Every structure is written in structure tokens, then in C-alpha cells.
Amino acid sequence: MSDSLQSTDEQAEQPPETPLDTARYQLDKAASLIEVDENIIERLSHPTSVHEVTVPLKRDDGTVDVFSGYRAQHDSVRGPYKGGLRYHPHVDREEVIGLSMWMTWKCAVVDLPFGGAKGGINVDPKALSDGEIERLTRRFTNELRNVIGPQTDIPAPDMGTNAQTMAWIMDTYSIQEAETAPAVVTGKPIAVGGSEGRQEAPGRSVAIISRELLEYYDRPLSETTVAVQGFGSVGANAARLLEEWGATVVAVSDVNGAAYDLTGLDTSGIPSHDQEPEAVTEYAEDTISNAALLELDVDLLVPAALGNVITEGNADDIRADFVVEGANGPTTFTADSILTDRGIHVVPDILANAGGVTVSYFEWVQDINHRTWSLDRVNEELEAVMIDAWDAVRREVENRGVTWREAAYIVGVSRIAAAHESRGLWP
């Protein structure tokens, strides 16, 4: 998918925008819109620390491969570092720093007492057996042992990792600490302290924010067509909820392409990545490419697969009226201004998919209090957090006449800056 989506002529001539470039452009833009001490902005342009570790893996055939692992900790002024670990061949130092900055703003937009972090291993997990992934994960946990912890830095799933990966991290860390420490990671299986509703949460928040956005612009869900790129836990749950609430989902995709039906797909009949990986097109009568999905003439487009899919190369061809970002960083900074100039409303990742880290927070609260919440309670509290965040962002849109992305950054960066202001710089 990435090749067909990203190999435009323009990108061949100039280096693509990295997540760190995008994150820094966005921070500078937000800073230019608010009254905030420029020294704090300078400080926030850099991560607090970046841990780079070597992760050797004994392969099933007895040979040893060596991988690079990272954990970038951006800011912890409001609470412990929080953010996912991804296993993907793109992972590098710059990517995790950029993604860790987005986690800082995301946690602040939904007003959680967490800071921002992100990490991962530069590896293609599809090329490894389950046993190899387990050994890699346990060794990575060992290398990060002094970096992570229930009160310091709490990882979670991201691209290429899942609840099982978190269970291995929790087990390895717990054995080393000689105590059962479920709160060291979130997004775990329910059996070891995971939360009801955690896996569905980012998709649920994308659906909630899409619903609020459409209502704000007087567009009834029953008259809304939707295309969703990516059918993992974010895309599949968002598509299914939007369909349940009355929208017509005309296209959903995975790495092989998109299922397409102008009259509306039955999204529960198409297996999500967790149910059957990469099988979307096998369940489709008509298929189109991922590039074509992004350019469909729909009301709402939800990019919920990779980062950097809406670029300078295709932003002029996006025909949706609304874009709600399910993936982290699907729109480059340059593409974002093209979409804005064209009158397309884009709701950013740091608001739309923040349901994931919000239910991670609920999971952590349950773990440290040794209590469990029902699914109804989780979904009710998630709805309340998302509506509060939506209202805070909407007020900035209305009061300052800025875009949804600028408004979300204003909310997030202002909260972080206020905390830095109060705590001061020591020494």
C-alpha cells in the first residue's frame, strides 16, 4: 500500500516530510496563534530523552539477528510518559520523537494526567514467527527496564503490536521486579488487567468525533457517505459504529485494496485485521485501490492506516468534505494547508483517535486501584471525556476562527505550557 500511495514524482525529488518535521511545523504554527512563553515552546520542540537500544534475537533457525529499539520520552510535566510501541520497518529515531510529541498534545487535549512517549523496534513483524516476536519483546522489555514503569512510562499497543505483546511486556517486567505489575502497560488482555472496551476505543472515539463534526455542520449521519482506509482496530470499529449510527460506508480497505459498494457495505460481514488479517478484498464484490479510496467523492474520509498518506501529491484530489484522522499523522503539514485552502475540514488525530489513550488511562486507574469497570461504564466515561475535549476544541474554532487542527493544538499546547509555567525550570 505505501508504495502505491507514496511514490509521487514530487516526493522523489524532495525528501518526504518526517513525523518530526510535521510535529515541529504544527507546534510552531500553534505557538504563533497563542500567547505563550517562547522559551517553553523551544523546550517543547525537543524530547526530554530518547533511549536507543540494541535488541538481539535468536531466530528459530538458531542464527542471531540484531534490531534497533527506541523509546522517546517527550514531556512529563502533567504525569507519567504514555504512548504506544510499534513494530514496523519505518521505525527510527525521528519517527518516534515526532510521534511522542503528538502523544503529549493528545493526552493534554483529552485532559489526562499523562505526558507523551512513543517507541518501537525497526522490524517487520510479519517476517517473524510468534515465538520470535515473543523473544524479541521480552528482550526489548529487558533493555527498557529502567526506563518504563507504572509511575514513570507506560507503553501500549500501536502499529504491529497488540494485547499479546503487552502481556509479554507485563510478564517480563513483573518477573524482574518480583511483583505483579499490570499497570506498567495498557492495552493488555482482560485476563491480566486489561480493560473492557480498550481495543475498540480509538475507533469509537473516531466515530464519536465524526458524529459531532457532522452534526456541527448540519449533516445528518443518515445522509453521509464514508470511506475508511485501514480495517484494523481503529478503522473497523469506526466504520462499524458509523454504519450502526446510520451512515453509509461505501469503502473500507486493508493493505491489499478496498472493498467498494456505492449503496453501502455491510461492515460487520467484513473481517477486521484482528479477525482475519488482510482479507478485506476477499469479501468484496467490487474492489478499488487504496489510492482511489482516498480520492472518492464521499462526505467523510477516515484515514486509519498509515501515516503520511495525504501528501502534497494527492491533496488536490481529495474530494471528501470532511477528513477525520484515525491514524497518527496521516496528513503532512503541506497537504493540510492545501486541504484547508480547499475548504475541507480536517479533525486531527490528537483529538479523533484519543479514545485509545483515554481508555488506557481508565485501564491504568483500574490496575492501580485493583478494581474493574464494566463495558458500559468505560463507554460512558469515554463518551464524556471525548465530548469535553470536542467542546474545548470547538470553542477555539469559534472564538479564534482557526482550523480544527489549530484549535486542538491550541488546547493541548496551552495546557502543557500552563503546567510548565507553574512548575518552572529547575535549576
Catalytic residues: 118
To ligand GLU, the closest distance from the beta carbon of 427 in angstroms equals 31
Helical residues (DSSP H) of 257-374, grouped into ranges: 290-294, 333-341, 349-352, 355-369
Which of 5/103 has CB closer to ligand GLU? 103
Pairing of strands 64-75, 116-121: antiparallel
Tell me how far, at minimum, the Cβ of 108 lies from ligand GLU, in Å. Answer: 13
Question: Is residue 2 helix, strand or coil?
Answer: helix
CB of 101 to ligand GLU, least distance (A): 12
How many H helices and E strands in the chain? 15, 12
Which is closer to ligand GLU, CB of 206 or CB of 259? 206
- With a CB cutoff of 8 Å and minimum separation 6, the contacts of 233 are 199, 200, 202, 203, 272, 273, 274
CA–CA separation, 321 and 307 (whole Å): 20
Task: Kindly tell me which of 165 and 225 has the beta carbon lying closer to ligand GLU.
Answer: 165
Q: Which is nearer to ligand GLU, 107 or 241 (CB)?
A: 107
C-alpha cell at 351: 483529538
Task: Provide, rounded to whole angstroms, the least separation between the CB of residue 377 and ligand GLU.
Answer: 18
d(CA 295, CA 227): 9
Beta bridge partners, 116, equal 75
Length of the chain: 427
- Positions touching ligand GLU (CB under 6 A) are 82-84, 106, 156, 158, 186-187, 328, 353, 356-357, 360
57/304 with CB nearer ligand GLU: 304
